[in-house]
C-alpha cells in the first residue's frame, strides 16, 4: 500500500488530511472525534482575545457546488477556549491553534497562550473574508502580513502557519511576505467572499449579507493559488478549498501542496471523511505507480 505519511514543518502526519478550522472545532470533544475518525491533525476554530458572539442567523446557505457561511468568528475567547484543549490533545495527534486579532500584538499574545495550552503549531487567520478589521482585511497587505507573522514567530517556539486569502492582486506577493516574516508553512486558500439573494424577499439570505464561499466550486481557485505559491516560496504548502475526493487531493499535491485541509466535505461525510479520502488517495497512487503521497508534491511543475 502507498505511503501516505507527510511532514509539514516538522509535524509528522500519518496522512495528508487535516481538519480545517471552523468545522467541528467548537469543542475539544469534536476535535478529538475528528482525530479518532482518521484526521492526521486538526485545526481549532479561530479564537480571539475576547469572547465574540458572531453574526445573526441565518449564517449558512447551500449554493451550487458548495456553501456560503457568515459566522462572524464567534468564539468564547482564549481564556475559556483553553478548557477544550485537554480533550482535543488526548488522541495524541497534532492540534493546530487558529488565532485572529486586529494587531500584531494581539496575535502574539494569543500565540503565547495557545502554545501554553499545548498546540503543536499555530495557524494565523489572515484570510476570513467577512470580518471587519480582521482576517482578509489584514492579510491583503504584504507589510501587515509580514509584521504579524514576525511578531508571532518572535513570541513562540512552535511552527507558525499563515492562512492566505485568495482575494488579492498577487497571492505570491502575500506568500513571500509571510515567508519573509518567518512563516513555517502557508495554507491556501480560505473562502471567497460571496453572497446569495432571496428572490422572494429581495434581500441577502445571510444575516450579515456576505459570507465565505467554500466547497467544490472553489477547488480550481485553490489549486491555482497553490501552484503559484510553489513557484514563489520555499516553505511547505497546505492546500485547502474544495477537496472532496482522493483525486482532488492528488491535484493539490501535484500543484505543490504537502498536505490538505478539509472542511465542507466533513459537514456531509462526517466521520467517514478522512478514512475515505485516505483510501481514495492510496488507490490513486497505486493506480499510477506512485509509492508515496510525498512523491506527488510539485509534480505538475516538472515541465517548468
Q: Which residue, among 13, 43, 40, 14, has the nearest Cα to 31 in the 3D structure?
A: 43
Q: Is the peptide bond before 58 cis (omega within 30 degrees of 0)?
A: yes
Burial class from Cβ neighbours inside 10 Å (0-12, 13-18, 19+) for residue 261 reads buried
Options 128, 136, 177, 223, the catalytic residue: 128
Known catalytic residue at 128? yes
Q: Which residue numbers are catalytic?
A: 128
Amino acid at each position: 500500500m502507498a505511503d501516505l505519511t507527510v511532514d509539514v514543518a516538522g509535524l509528522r502526519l500519518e496522512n495528508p488530511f487535516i481538519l480545517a478550522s471552523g468545522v467541528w472545532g467548537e469543542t475539544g470533544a469534536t476535535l478529538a472525534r475528528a482525530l479518532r475518525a482518521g484526521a492526521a491533525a486538526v485545526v481549532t476554530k479561530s479564537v480571539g482575545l475576547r469572547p465574540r458572539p458572531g453574526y445573526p442567523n441565518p449564517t449558512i446557505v447551500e449554493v451550487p457546488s458548495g456553501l456560503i457561511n457568515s459566522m462572524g468568528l464567534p468564539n468564547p475567547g482564549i481564556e475559556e477556549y483553553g478548557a477544550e484543549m485537554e480533550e482535543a490533545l488526548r488522541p495524541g495527534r497534532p492540534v493546530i491553534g487558529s488565532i485572529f486579532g486586529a494587531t500584531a500584538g494581539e496575535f502574539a499574545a494569543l500565540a503565547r497562550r495557545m502554545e501554553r495550552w499545548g498546540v503543536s503549531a499555530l495557524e494565523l487567520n489572515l484570510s476570513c473574508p467577512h470580518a471587519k478589521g480582521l482576517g482578509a482585511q489584514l492579510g491583503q497587505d504584504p507589510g501587515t502580513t509580514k509584521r504579524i507573522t514576525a511578531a508571532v514567530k518572535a513570541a513562540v517556539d512552535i511552527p507558525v502557519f499563515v492562512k492566505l486569502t485568495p482575494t488579492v492582486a498577487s497571492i505570491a506577493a502575500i506568500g513571500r511576505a509571510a515567508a519573509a516574516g518567518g512563516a513555517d508553512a502557508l495554507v491556501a486558500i480560505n473562502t471567497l467572499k460571496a453572497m446569495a439573494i432571496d428572490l422572494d424577499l429581495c434581500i441577502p439570505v445571510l444575516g450579515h449579507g456576505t459570507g465565505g464561499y467554500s466547497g467544490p466550486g472553489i477547488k480550481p481557485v485553490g489549486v491555482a493559488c497553490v501552484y503559484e505559491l510553489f513557484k514563489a516560496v520555499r516553505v511547505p504548502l497546505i492546500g485547502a478549498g474544495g477537496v472532496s475526493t482522493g483525486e482532488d487531493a492528488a491535484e493539490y499535491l501535484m500543484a505543490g501542496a504537502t498536505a490538505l485541509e478539509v472542511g465542507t466535505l466533513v459537514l456531509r461525510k462526517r466521520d467517514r471523511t478522512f478514512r475515505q479520502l485516505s483510501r481514495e488517495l492510496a488507490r490513486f497512487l497505486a493506480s499510477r505507480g506512485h509509492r508515496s503521497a510525498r512523491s506527488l508534491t510539485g509534480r505538475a511543475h516538472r515541465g517548468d
